[in-house]
A = this chain, B = another copy of it.
Amino acid sequence: MKIARVCGTVTSTQKESTLTGVKFLVVQWMGGEGELLPDYAVAADTVGAGLDEWVLVSRGSAARFIVNGETKPIDAAVVAIIDTVSKDNQLLYSKRTQY
């Protein structure tokens, strides 16, 4: 998994029928020092993540193992909203201190 910040949404009317009702979030990858990178992905979300929250994103076939994901053509999904990230015994991110 990679750590990412939720930074946006994608909407679509004309799509694969199995994607009806799927929420698509734009997520921005976190680098190794806790900085935000310019690179992004679009991930399906069933966890209910909101703008600016940090999340764990799974890519590849793993994305289809979220709730009701089995038959969907998705290759990235938010699988957890992050409470804390610690690195070498230092707190890199805490959801509580962000809000």
**Interface size bucket, A side?**
35 or more
Question: Which residues of A41-99 have CB atoms within 8 Å of chain B's CB atoms?
Answer: 41-43, 46-48, 51, 56, 58-67, 69, 71-77, 79-89, 92
**The residue from B19, B51, B66, B85 contacting A26, defined by CB atoms under 8 A apart:** B85
Q: Judge whether A60 and B58 touch: CB under 8 Å.
A: no
Tell me the A residues contacting B by CB distance below 8 Å. Answer: 1-3, 7-19, 24, 26, 28, 31-33, 37-43, 46-48, 51, 56, 58-67, 69, 71-77, 79-89, 92
- What are 13 A-B pairs with beta-carbon distances under 8 A? A1-B24, A1-B74, A8-B87, A10-B85, A13-B83, A16-B67, A42-B56, A58-B73, A58-B75, A60-B75, A61-B61, A66-B73, A74-B79
